[in-house]
Each structure stands twice: as C-alpha cells, then as structure tokens.
Chains A and B, each alone.
Chain A
Amino acid sequence: MSEPSKPIGVRSVLIVGVGGQGILLASRLLASAAIGAGFDVKISEVHGMAQRGGSVVTHVRLGTKVHSPLVEMGTADFVVAFEKLEALRWLPYARPGATVIVNDLEIPPLPVILGAERYPTDIIRRLAAGGRRVVLVDAQGMARSAGNARCANTAIMGMLARRLDLGITEERWQVAVGDVAPPGTAEVNWKAFCLGYTCESYK
C-alpha cells in the first residue's frame, strides 16, 4: 500500500453501508485482529434511529496510539462500502490515493423507490476519480460460495485484510473471526473471510 498519510502511523478505515448489513460486526472483526497484533484501536458507531435502514457508518482507527475515535474527512486510508451509493456518500472521508473496497450491490433508498430521485449510474467512475483505487467485489456471491449468504460482511473484511498491510498474521485474523462471529458460525465466516482475502477486484 502507498505511504500512510500521517507519520504517527494511524490507519483510518471507514466502514459504510445500510442499517442491517452487519457493519458493526465487521468493524469489531478488524478491531479484534488489530488489538491482537498489539495496536491501539478506537471505533465509533452510531445506534438508534440510524439503524432503521438508514445510512450507517463506522469509523475504525488503529495505530500505536489513537486519540480521535472519528476519522477526519479527507484522511481515510480505506473506505469499505457494503453498498455502492453509500461508498459515494462517504467518499469525502477518503484521502487522495485511498483504496475504496465496494460491494457490487445497489440498495435503492426510499426516495429512489418512490421515484423522487434516481440512483446514480456512474458510481464506480466517481469513486475512481482523483487517483483512488477501487476494488469492486461480489460479497454476496463469495458468501454464498462459502455456504451462508449472511457472511458477506466477513468476505469484504477479508478483502480489506490483504490490503491493510499491517502485518497482522492469518492466525490473528482467524482468532478475530472466531471472537466476533455469532455462535456456531465461526467456520463459515472464516471460509468467507478467506475467499475475500484471495479474491481480486473483478472489474
């Protein structure tokens, strides 16, 4: 990965999507692995009204010493989007040259369903502007291949893991998946994670 934007070595990851997509679990997976590897970690989430199908964002920051739980706009090293429109919505948080991992999934918001607004058609182009690297992924497909469509979130996190470049070992990731996966789903989640880890962007 390219040079970190800050000398103190804090990595900022924004995980975004739609309420109910498993974003909180994804952020805890990343935090758990990073803590296991000896990093300081802060996560910021929002509960309540935003979870009713609204736009949801989780900030994850890791490094030797982390102060702010919030990612500053224009400084995120990674934007991990579980839905395409949300990738675009939260793009102002990405730094120049950031990597945007985006699930190839469109969930039309209510104004689009009602015909009041249109779902943007040029999302990938806009994501890639300004030297950003876009990784497009079919997380649902990977999750189904792994054996459970609900593991799309761990599959995406597998894709992030390989690009994170923090030297977190496979064992730590596996322990972290086991830590955060709902009871009885550690194995299928780990399978989805590994599929994500080895997957290339398909566009």
Chain B
Amino acid sequence: MQHEEQCVDRAAGTGDIRKALMSGNQAIARGAYEAGVRVACAYPGTPSTEILEHIRAFEGIYVEWSPNEKVALEVALGAAIAGVRALAAMKHVGLNVAADPLFTAAYTGVNAGLVIVSADDPGMHSSQNEQDNRHYARFAKIPMLEPSDSQEAKDFVGLALDISERFDTPVMLRTTTRISHSSGIVVLGAPQAPRRLPYKKNPPKYVMVPGNARLRHIEVEARLKALAEFAEGFAYNTIEWNSTRVGIIASGVSYQYAREVLEKNASYLRLAMTNPIPEGVIRGFAAKVDRLYVIEELDPFLEEQLRAMGLNVVGKRLLPVTGELTPEAIRRAMIEEGVLAGAVAGAQVALVPPNENANAGAGNHEAGDAIALPARPPVMCPGCPHRGAFYVLRKLKVVATGDIGCYTLGVAPPLSALDTTICMGASIGNAIGFAAAAAMDQRPQTCAVETAAKAAEAEAEAEAGAGAGALATSAAAVPRKPVAVIGDSTFVHSGITGLIDAVYNQVSIVVLILDNGTTAMTGHQNHPATGVTLRGTATHRLSLEDLVRACGVEYVAVVDPYDLVATERALRQAAAVPGPAVVIARRSCVLLPGARPADRYIILEDRCTACKLCLSLGCPAIEVRDGRPVIIRGSCAGCGVCAQICRCDAIAQHKAGEYHE
C-alpha cells in the first residue's frame, strides 16, 4: 500500500481515528468501506490503482484484481444485481474496455448500489490519451458525481450508492489525477452494517434480448428525467454568493482552482453532480450574475450544455481544451477579461508549466530566461529485464509494435525500439496489420529493392561489428516478421484475443511477451499469471506458455532477457518459422524483492577504449565522466547486459562481497 493511514486526530480515550490525511483514492476506499460495499474490483491503472489497494485493508469486502476493466465491471454489476453494494474502479481508458457492460448496465439497472469510479488523467502524467470521461456518463445516460477534494471523494461514494439504489442505476464517480493523487484532511465516519437486498429472478429487467431492452430503454429515459428533477434539489450542488459581477460554474478540482484564484471576486455555483445538470438551478444562478463563466478541464462538457440552454456563457474561448487546467491559466484568463487586476505575467513562456514527464525539453524554460534545460524523461531502471530484449530488437531492425507498461519506455532513445503504442493489447493486432499489409504488397520490384537495401544495411552493421562477437550473424538471417512487444499483465488483460487471431488466420508475426512477473508500471500489482491474489494469497498461476500453446502457437520459446545471445537466437528462430510464434522473455522486475542479482559490474579503465557502445543501452547506471563511460557505484543492478555487448571485454563482474557500495 502506498500510503498508510496517517492519523490526525484520535478520539479521547478510545484511540479511534476521527480525522486523517488521505489521498482521494484512499478516501474513496474509506468511503466504500463506510458505505457497506461488499464487492470491489479493478484492473490497476494510474491514477486509479490505490483505490483497491486501500480497500484491501478492510475486512469483509471481496476484492479482486480483475484481468481487465470489462471483467471488473461485469463482476461488480453481477454482485449488485445479486444484492450487495459493489464498486469497480478504473482509469479513464479502462472505461473504454468496460464500455460494453457499462452501456447495457444502464439498461438493466442494479439491485444494490453500483458505483463505477473513472479516474481521468488530464495532462497525461501516465496515459496514452487525455479523453474526458464525463462524456461517458452522458453517453450511457447514468448519473455522475465529481468530488473536489478528498473529503468529498469519501462522502460521494456513499452518496453515489444511495442514488444508485434510489434510481436503480449504476452511478459514475469521476475523479482526475489531482483528486485521486492529492491529499487532504478527511473526517471519518462509522461503517454501515452489512446488508443484502433480496435477489429476485427478473429476466425482463436483467436479460437484455431486444424485446426486453426496448422496454428498458424507455425506463432509462424516464429515469434520466427523474434524475434531472432530483439534481435540482441535490444539496451538494452549492452556491457561494460574493460579488454578482462575475459568476463561475465549475466542478471537481477546477472549482478549487477557480475559488483559489478568484477568491471573493466572484460567486460560485459548484456542481457536485454533473450529469444530469440542474438546469433550473443554473438558470437561477445565471440570472443573478452579470457575466457567466464555466471553468472546466479538457472538453467544454458543461459549456456546450449551457449554450444549448441558451445561456450566454464563456469557457473555452479563454481556457485550454488540451492539457491539465492550472490556477495560472485561470488567472491569465480572468486578467484578460478584466475580472482580476494585474498584468498577464510576462511571457507565454512563463505560463507553460514544466512537463513532469519532461519529454518536451521545450517546455522547460525559466521565466524571462528562455534557455532550455535538459529534459529528464522517465527511464527503464538499471537492471530492468526489458533493456536486453529491446537492445536485441533494435539490433534486428524489425518493426516492433508496442503496448502499455514500463516497456513503453523502449520507445525512447537510445533504444528507440518501438513503432507503435496505442492501447492495452494493441501490439498484437498492430503486428498482424503490419504483416497483412506486407502480404498484400503487390509491388515485387519495390520489395526487391527494399530487401537489397536492408541486406546491405545489415551487412554494413555486421562489418562495423556492432554487438559482441557471439551476437554477430549473417545479414541474410535478419528476421522481417513484425514483433509485438507486450508485458505479462497486459497480455492477460487483452493480448490473448489478438494472439488467437494470429493463429486463426495464420499470420506471420512474433509475439514477444516481456514477462517480469508483475504489473510494474502501476506499482507492482499481482495478476493471474503471478499466482498471487490482491489479498496476497496463493492461487492457481496461469502458465503463459501453456496458454499460448493452447491457442495453437507451435513455436514457443522461454528465454532470460539478461542473456542476449539466447534472446537473439530465440527471436531469429521465431522469425524463421512459418505463422505466429511466441518468445517469452522471463525475468522478474528488478524492483521486486530479491530480484537484483548479487554481483555488480565495473568498467576496467585499462581495457576500455571509450567506444561508448555500452551507452546504447540507455542504462542510467552508466554515465560519462571526462569522456569515458563509468558505472555508477550503487546504481548498477548487476544484470551484466553491458558486459555482453562490450567489444573490449572491458566490463567485468565483481562478485558479491568484493564490491562495497
């Protein structure tokens, strides 16, 4: 668990915690506990992951890491229909995977309450897109609550479940990174006694064949009208009257930014429930203020609805549609509008926040001193088992379609090994597409030229002696099959169906499963192929090699990615066989306890010719000092991959005990 409960205030005498500093995610977990949730499911995904990790701490709740978000929501829905309160949590893009059950769950409704937490990631701190999931609530016609701090994150879980039961609908609880991963003080409540609603078999409600679904759709529309009426009196939509010169409509963390920047210079209508919106309340507020602004992050979700109501409102004319909303963006907009006094602070440059992922060096300027700073992109750790696999892939010059996980970092220089990254599991389908496109290529002349060029290129490389002698092979054997690169957890999540497609249609691809035995990027969660549950108990371990063989793959090799020769040999063999082939590169994530090898490596100065080939691994444990590569003491994890590629035998192993960190 990332954050232990930090006590702020204990009740005198009893020692019971009454107040605590909690992240939004931790507060949601607490809210689920207090509201009597009995089943909670998720697939890990930033920024939602810690919700289930915290719920796990409570007794009496069935918790699971589901293989993916679709299964998570289906399990939670089943539990709700069966009569216990349930929660499914996911990141924004996870709801795409769960969208199929979501839309029909809106038709069936629930029995006991069902809350779906969607944790969005504006600014893409750790995501492949920044879609605005508020649209999902409107699209699926379900109510949505948006907490604006940790206290509300906790309280709104119970509220959502009450609404869910009262209106017989799933309810979406939508957070963003700055709600999920911000912490604030939370006043704790007492947990509700467990209860179970009776389940009655009711096929017209729960079996969505067309004849039943047509009737349920009518119910959905009627329910939406009832919810709109409910929203008018919903006590958590609040108005703070200050100056009526300016009125602000906002929700979630955007409200907090607006309140901070504008202080008492504006009146505020804060919407806790953003679907459906309370049109009457909004009209009443709008009528009393001179100028009306909507301050919202990402899409003009509220603004467009307000415009459709005929209100004269300003929003995205002033505020960005892309990236995270920031207090400074609001201040600049309000200064431009004359709402706040002051100059628009100097340069636009000064208002571009440094990118935390720091991929874009251009964003890193000092105000008034526009000198770009070196970016600090996230990197694969020293000893990361993915590094060796990517080194070999790059050497083989194959098309490598990527996937979602730490190994997405293989796109960065110097490895630069990936061609695509789309979504969970897409690597395999993408590779099939590349192979299909090549197969449809009807231009033999062009092909011949390309092949000749590639052969010449590879030959030149072989002559240049790239790689250790043992790795040098003839250019003719360079494999041309596209390689799908996917992690173990991601493969289970949504890679299996892609592989079945490759087998079914006999498409020549290689699937390289980087099996590090965990879901590393989100903080080392277990999954079906680790053989350990969310509660830490041993369970059946899904065997990836048995699974891919059962799918019909004939060539299956398991290699240690620390062994470059074996990894390259397996990939070449996989490329040589007809049809789909699978290589499983198996080695524990180096951050897992006990995963670091005992030995360390050093560069022998007398042998090193400073050719810097070792730098092509992009290992943060190797740096250049005075023009020569040096392995940083204390950083080396002992994988030995650099020693294998060194052409001068200049990287030597130091046995454990000889090396003092």
Residues of chain B within 8 A (CB-CB) of A91 are 366-367
In the complex, how many residues of chain A place their beta carbon closer than 8 angstroms to a beta carbon of chain B? Answer: 59
Residue of B nearest to A127 (CB): B366
- The listed residue with most B CB atoms (<10 A of its CB), out of A32, A36, A68, A86, is A68
- The reply to whether A70 and B178 form a contact with Cβ atoms under 8 Å apart is yes
- The reply to whether A129 and B357 form a contact with Cβ atoms under 8 Å apart is no
Asked if B118 CB lies within 8 Å of chain A CBs, one says no
- The reply to whether B256 and A69 form a contact with Cβ atoms under 8 Å apart is yes
B518 to chain A minimum Cβ distance, whole angstroms, is: 14
Q: Contacts A50-B125, A68-B257; is A74 near B350 (CB within 8 Å)?
A: yes
Q: How far is the CA of A179 from the CA of B10 in the complex (A)?
A: 14
Asked if B335 CB lies within 8 Å of chain A CBs, one says no
Asked if A72 CB lies within 8 Å of chain B CBs, one says yes
Asked if A192 CB lies within 8 Å of chain B CBs, one says no
Q: Contacts A42-B149, A49-B378, A54-B357; is A68 near B21 (CB within 8 Å)?
A: no
Contact of B413 among A41, A42, A70, A114 (CB under 8 A): A114
- Produce 1/0 per residue, B242-284, CB < 8 A to A: 0000000000010011011101000000000000000000000
Asked if B185 CB lies within 8 Å of chain A CBs, one says yes
B335 to chain A minimum Cβ distance, whole angstroms, is: 13
- The reply to whether A110 and B46 form a contact with Cβ atoms under 8 Å apart is no
Interface of A (DSSP majority class)? mixed
- The reply to whether A55 and B615 form a contact with Cβ atoms under 8 Å apart is no
B128 to chain A minimum Cβ distance, whole angstroms, is: 10
Asked if B351 CB lies within 8 Å of chain A CBs, one says yes
B26 to chain A minimum Cβ distance, whole angstroms, is: 12
Within 8 A of B (CB), among A1-42: 8, 18-19, 28, 31-32, 35-36, 40-42
Within 8 A of A (CB), among B610-642: 615, 618, 620, 622-624
- Which of B74-82, B98-106, B215-223, B369-377 is near enough to bind chain A? B369-377
- Which of B301-309, B326-334, B421-429 is near enough to bind chain A? B326-334
Q: How far is the CA of A112 from the CA of B253 in the complex (A)?
A: 36
Residue of B nearest to A71 (CB): B327
Q: Contacts A32-B21, A54-B376; is A72 near B261 (CB within 8 Å)?
A: yes
Within 8 A of B (CB), among A115-133: 115-120, 126, 129
- Produce 1/0 per residue, A56-94, CB < 8 A to B: 110000000011111111100000000001101111100
- The reply to whether A113 and B365 form a contact with Cβ atoms under 8 Å apart is no
- The reply to whether A50 and B620 form a contact with Cβ atoms under 8 Å apart is no
- The reply to whether B182 and A72 form a contact with Cβ atoms under 8 Å apart is no
Asked if B466 CB lies within 8 Å of chain A CBs, one says no
A90 to chain B minimum Cβ distance, whole angstroms, is: 6
B420 to chain A minimum Cβ distance, whole angstroms, is: 18
- The reply to whether B367 and A74 form a contact with Cβ atoms under 8 Å apart is yes
Asked if A108 CB lies within 8 Å of chain B CBs, one says yes
A116 to chain B minimum Cβ distance, whole angstroms, is: 8
Residues of chain A within 8 A (CB-CB) of B373 are 85, 88-89, 120
Residues of chain B within 8 A (CB-CB) of A74 are 328, 345, 350, 367
Residue of A nearest to B184 (CB): A42
Asked if A141 CB lies within 8 Å of chain B CBs, one says no
Within 8 A of A (CB), among B364-418: 364-367, 369, 371, 373-381, 406, 409, 412-414
Asked if A111 CB lies within 8 Å of chain B CBs, one says yes
Asked if B239 CB lies within 8 Å of chain A CBs, one says no
Asked if A163 CB lies within 8 Å of chain B CBs, one says no
- The reply to whether A51 and B49 form a contact with Cβ atoms under 8 Å apart is no
- The reply to whether B331 and A72 form a contact with Cβ atoms under 8 Å apart is yes
- The reply to whether A180 and B6 form a contact with Cβ atoms under 8 Å apart is yes
- The reply to whether A73 and B356 form a contact with Cβ atoms under 8 Å apart is no
Asked if A184 CB lies within 8 Å of chain B CBs, one says no
- The reply to whether A47 and B49 form a contact with Cβ atoms under 8 Å apart is yes
- The reply to whether A92 and B350 form a contact with Cβ atoms under 8 Å apart is yes
Q: How far is the CA of A72 from the CA of B328 in the complex (A)?
A: 6
Q: How far is the CA of A148 from the CA of B552 in the complex (A)?
A: 54
- The reply to whether B21 and A35 form a contact with Cβ atoms under 8 Å apart is yes
- The reply to whether B364 and A113 form a contact with Cβ atoms under 8 Å apart is no
Asked if B354 CB lies within 8 Å of chain A CBs, one says yes
Q: Contacts A42-B182, A68-B256, A180-B6; is A49 near B149 (CB within 8 Å)?
A: no
A27 to chain B minimum Cβ distance, whole angstroms, is: 9
Asked if A147 CB lies within 8 Å of chain B CBs, one says no
Asked if A48 CB lies within 8 Å of chain B CBs, one says yes
Contact of A45 among B182, B345, B622 (CB under 8 A): B182
Q: How far is the CA of A72 from the CA of B376 in the complex (A)?
A: 22
Q: How far is the CA of A32 from the CA of B331 in the complex (A)?
A: 30
Residue of A nearest to B373 (CB): A89
B-side interface residues toward A, CB under 8 Å? 2-3, 6-8, 21, 23, 46-47, 49-50, 125-126, 149, 177-178, 181-185, 253, 256-257, 259-261, 263, 326-328, 331, 345, 350-351, 353-354, 356-358, 361, 364-367, 369, 371, 373-381, 406, 409, 412-414, 521-523, 615, 618, 620, 622-624
Which 8 pairs across A and B sit closest by C-beta, in order of nearness? A48-B126, A48-B46, A54-B378, A69-B182, A68-B260, A52-B378, A72-B327, A109-B376
